[in-house]
Amino acid sequence: MEGIMKKQTASVIEVRDVHKVYGSQQTTSYEALKGINFQVMAGEFVGVMGASGSGKTTLLNLLATLDRPTSGVIKINDQDLSQIADRQLSEFRGQQLGFIFQDFSLLENLTAAENIALPLDLQGVNKQQSRAQVEKISRRLSIEKFIDQYPAQLSGGQKQRVAAARALVNEPRLILADEPTGALDSDNARDLMELLTQINQEDHVSVLMVTHDPFSASYCERILMIKDGQIGQTIERDGQPRHDFYQSILSDLGTYR
Ligand SMILES: Nc1ncnc2c1ncn2[C@@H]1O[C@H](COP(=O)(O)OP(=O)(O)OP(=O)(O)O)[C@@H](O)[C@H]1O
């Protein structure tokens, strides 16, 4: 019920006719995205799948404001990214977005707590407030016991929970995840997907997740299938139980490739 009520309020991502061409020479240039259109509404959990080289990372980099489209419009929380100057992009990222990567991207010489606090440090949040926010998110993600340890002392699943805490500590409305279960075994992958689902449903944080893995994708409500730089197909969960959706994804992937 909550899922129905939370949707259709506002769009957190709007992508209109986005093209991305790498290289400027006509002979060597490559069009990685060829007119992408989609929206993600507040509170949605959306997956992006597609074969290697189809343009998933290119799209995620544009949404993450790490690169600019060649043409087209991208809005995040109604803000047109083309209107943000380069020097303001890191502040925008820090305030609006949370990132989770396949390789966790934790700094080895910092404790888990210090890693989680990084987005707050970059925004100049004072130590006391930062410590309070780190403790709050650590309790929420049940990682209080190991936040004073270094990444090398943590398991893969624990590292990804720390990375999730770092993504959430600034209370973003949107999480961008790039193969977040790619380096996890199946139990830890399930834990992480359940955690993301819980955050999505309880805190109404929207999630856009690139994945190759049909199991992880089955936690999404909608999956954009990218093929050769275009959205070829969208698979809707439509209230199906997760296991049934998993089977639909598998059969769609079978016919899609
Ligand atoms: N910086 C770049 N310069 C030139 N071509 C690029 C660049 N980055 C990506 N490409 C090309 O653009 C296409 C899309 O790449 P992209 O990394 O977005 O694919 P992907 O779907 O994320 O693949 P994978 O699943 O293997 O990560 C590929 O053909 C790739 O070779």
State ipTM.
0.96
Instruction: Sheet with 97-101: list strands edge to edge.
Output: 97-101, 174-178, 206-210, 45-50, 222-227, 230-236
Do the Cβ atoms of 153 and 109 come closer than 8 Å? no
Number of helices (H), then strands (E), in the chain: 9, 10
Judge if the beta carbon of residue 239 lies within 6 A of ligand 1: no
Interatomic CA distance for residues 18 and 38, integer angstroms? 10
The DSSP secondary structure of 104-144, one letter per residue, reads ----TTS-HHHHHHHHHHHTT--HHHHHHHHHHHHHHTT-G
pLDDT exceeds cutoff 70 at 2: no
CA of 143 to the centre of ligand 1 (A): 35
pTM for this model (two decimals): 0.91
> Using CA positions, which residue lies closest to atom 31 of ligand 1?
53
User: pLDDT grade, residue 3 (50/70/90)?
Assistant: very low
Average pLDDT over residues 153-169: 93
**Cα 215 from chain centroid?**
16
pLDDT exceeds cutoff 80 at 14: yes
pLDDT exceeds cutoff 60 at 112: yes
Judge if the beta carbon of residue 216 lies within 6 A of ligand 1: no
Q: What percent of the chain has pLDDT over 70?
A: 95
CA of 29 to the centre of ligand 1 (A): 12
User: pLDDT grade, residue 7 (50/70/90)?
Assistant: very low
* Ligand 1 atom nearest to 30, measured from its CA: 5
Looking at residue 255, its pLDDT comes to: 62
Long-range Cβ contacts of 61-65 (<8 Å, 24+ apart): 62/18, 62/20, 62/33, 63/13, 63/15, 63/176, 63/208, 64/93, 64/97, 64/99, 64/176, 65/89, 65/92, 65/93, 65/97
Instruction: Report pLDDT digits (tens) over 236-250.
Output: 999 999 999 999 999
Mutate to test the pocket of ligand 1, among 57, 70, 212, 226 (most ligand atoms within 8 A of CB): 57
Q: List Cα–Cα distances, 94 to 46, 123, 148, 152, 206, in angstroms.
A: 21, 7, 23, 26, 16
2-256 classified as CATH 3.40.50.300: yes
Domain positions in the chain? 2-256
CA of 32 to the centre of ligand 1 (A): 7
Average pLDDT over residues 16-31: 90
